[in-house]
Structure 1
Amino acid sequence: MEKASIHTYVRNMMALPFLPAADIEPAFQLLAIRANSEQLSRFVHYMEEQWINHAIFDIDSLSVNGVTVRTNNDTEGWHQSLNRKAGGQELTFYRLVPALRAEAENVQYELRYFREGQSTRRVRPVSRRIEKSIRDL
């Protein structure tokens, strides 16, 4: 395979979690058949061992099809926000406790908004377009 087609092949493998859980393994098998070099065969073996046939996590947990939040960006953003509020590098136990308490009080409001179908999460327009294109597939 050429460099461009290898890039497309790897991107197709990376896109497997966007499929419904029932379609992941058949799509993986179709891609596995196309592995025509030793390096790609090793990559396919890795994908199969670590993701497709994992001993602990099943295919259902691999699929993010229909899931709105698919990354840990929200968690990282929350950690960054908490660090800023609590003092960051200068964080002491006595600064952390009030910050965590305020955060816990905020969770009640977030949960209420969530249950009402509202989101306090900011979503960029480009992310909305990507999300829509995935849903429309």
Structure 2
Amino acid sequence: MTTTPHEVDLIERSASALASPRQWFGMSGHLVTGECVALHVEAAARLMERENWDPQMYAPFSGRHIRDALESARLDGAGDADTQYVARTVMEALLRTYTGAPYVDYEVWSEHSSRTLAEVLTLLRTTAEAARRHGPALARPVPPLTPGGGI
């Protein structure tokens, strides 16, 4: 994957949103590495490209959009619920920076009638690169719960 200067600029303009350690925790409470997020997102991009999941050809909720590709990649072992959740937050940070909007839902963005497969693939590949550049290199293990130890 080659990152264009425009994509690198977007990543760097999004750096402050991606710098927060909270950004990199999954829904299970585990810290997720940038590399794990990148691998999950890249697997989703490969699927969409290989199967030509062009958003202009498929209606919302058709099973052929980013959320579906991320879910398929997760089920194939390319990631888990945590990497999928963190991928969402990274994509949305990038999209907020790109659009200037205070909130962007990546699912709604990807299903917009004007969206192209090229735009979707660019977002996924930029997300992977942003995760590698700004995500944690090592995940900190969560200590096990012990009886009587409390939460």
TM-score, with structure 1 as normaliser: 0.26
Larger Rg: 1
Q: Judging by fraction of residues, say which structure has more helix.
A: 1
Task: Considering Cα pairs closer than 8 Å and 6+ residues apart, tell me whether 1 or 2 has the greater RCO.
Answer: 2
